[in-house]
Structure 1
Amino acid sequence: LDIFFNAVTYLGEALPLITLTIILIFIKRTRLCGINMALSLFISIFIGAVILKPLIARERPFACPIYNEYWIAVGKHLEISFSCPSSHTTASFAVLFTFFLYFNKKYSFAALIIALMIGFSRVYLMVHYPSDVIFGICIGIIVSSLTYFILNKKTVKEKLIRFYN
């Protein structure tokens, strides 16, 4: 599973998430969702990576000698910033939970499964503790939900539609 989770963890990187967001912004029918994704991504990463990581300053699991052997065995996925909260998980939930909020739940549920797999991959690769991932999930869901409710207020939605038309 090492190769699989190394690939899954990549989905939580900036490039795939920003690419999805930009694509949805350029499609008229999905523009509001894309804007919500962009705002949620920016706000959640600012809260998690800029404010909370330095404040909490938790070392990564692979820095602990008892986990080091396992970390080497799964591919020595190196991260240089602090551990808590997980930025990959925060970002993936900020974007993919927004996707879930806007689209048919029967199909968009897959987005939540992908976000959960990204979070699990971070623990599997020994770059985060489970609590880092849970904290990232909470930040991503709260920020994307608040952004969703603000953007979908009738007056804000009408202004955005007029601005982009």
Structure 2
Amino acid sequence: MEIINLFDDTIIKFANNLHTNYKALDFFFSSITNLGEALPLMIITIILIFIKRTRFCGINMAISLFVSIVIGAFILKPLIARERPFMDPIYNEYWIAVGKHLETSFSCPSSHTTASFAALFPIFLYFNKKYSFIALLIALIIGFSRVYLMVHYPSDVVFGAFIGIAVSSAIYIILNKTNINKLIKKFI
């Protein structure tokens, strides 16, 4: 547990140092964090489902989003019940400095990060790696924005990324390595 606390504290201090030296990042991370909300991710997912050649990726994204959010937000958050970093007097001042972004549920795992990786990792799996890594980069930036805004500990973000990647990878395997893909192709 001490190594997790050290990891969290180091990354939080790094994020706060960025805030102190580059105030314009407050607006950037406040904006980018919204991409991890359900609506933008669902819009991307629906668009990919409607395009025939990207349909399987979109289906993977939709299933991954649903499963990962159920696991992360509805099962694990209440079980872990970790308070948000801004509740800790040590980090409350950082939270106030970056704009007091209020979140009301528990902290671990990060739902924005879980959803981002669940939706964007399939893009990396299905498409040309030369360009699709950008989807992973966006998911990473969304995850870091949650730390920068002091609404998650870095370990919450790492755990959320793990859930999103694990779920989307499992769905990818199920959709592409089993006979389910033949069944799906009959209906779409």
Bin the TM-score by the shorter chain. Answer: over 0.9
Cα displacement string for residues 9-28 of structure 1 (whole angstroms, at most 9, x for unaligned residues): 01100111000000001111
Structure 2 distance, partners of 1:93, 1:22, is 16
Shift in Å, 1:156: 1.3
Shift in Å, 1:124: 0.4
Structure 2 distance, partners of 1:163, 1:10, is 34
Deviation beyond 2 Å, 4+ runs, structure 1: none
Provide the secondary structure at the position in 2 that maps to 1:152. Answer: helix
Identity over the aligned pairs, expressed in percent?
76
Shift in Å, 1:120: 0.3
Equivalent residue letter for 2:139: A
Aligned partner of 2:67 in structure 1 is: 43
Alignment of 1:1-165 (within 5 A): 1-164=25-188
Shift in Å, 1:154: 4.8
Structure 2 distance, partners of 1:154, 1:124, is 41
TM-score when normalising by structure 1: 0.98
Shift in Å, 1:153: 2.2
Unaligned 5+ runs, structure 2: 1-24
Structure 2 distance, partners of 1:17, 1:97, is 12
Structure 1 distance, partners of 2:86, 2:105, is 12
Provide the secondary structure at the position in 1 that maps to 2:36. Answer: coil
Cα displacement string for residues 117-163 of structure 1 (whole angstroms, at most 9, x for unaligned residues): 00000000000001000000110000000000000025211111111
Equivalent residue letter for 2:145: S
Provide the secondary structure at the position in 1 that maps to 2:108. Answer: coil
Structure 2 distance, partners of 1:8, 1:104, is 24
Cα displacement string for residues 62-100 of structure 1 (whole angstroms, at most 9, x for unaligned residues): 011111111111011100000000000000000100111
